[in-house]
Amino acid sequence: MKFLSLSLFALTAFSSVSCTNVKPWERGRLADPLMKPARDPLSDSISEHVWFTREAFAGGRGVGGGGCGCN
């Protein structure tokens, strides 16, 4: 019983603090170009080419746009 109570409490405590639900209209900061890990298209394409040459595959590096999740 005590174990169950503690488990439930821990589960609630962790789920309360670890996740947040960002609504579509709150994604302005996520959509900021500064949030993109790579911001130089030329550098990106060169890196992609080197990656393709070495690993024989390309792509799979995320989708275009920022983090706004638009559309």
Of residues 18, 21, 53, 59, which one binds another protein by CB under 8 A?
21
Q: Which region among 7-15, 37-45, 54-62 touches another protein (by CB under 8 A)? A: 7-15
Interaction between residue 71 and another protein (CB under 8 A): yes
Are 30 and 67 a contacting pair, CB within 8 Å?
yes
Closest to 22 (Cα-Cα) out of 71, 64, 69: 69
User: CB-based contacts of 55: which residues, under 8 Å, 6+ apart?
Assistant: none
Q: Contact positions toward another protein, by CB under 8 A?
A: 1-2, 4-5, 8-9, 11-12, 15-16, 21, 23-28, 31-32, 65-66, 68-71
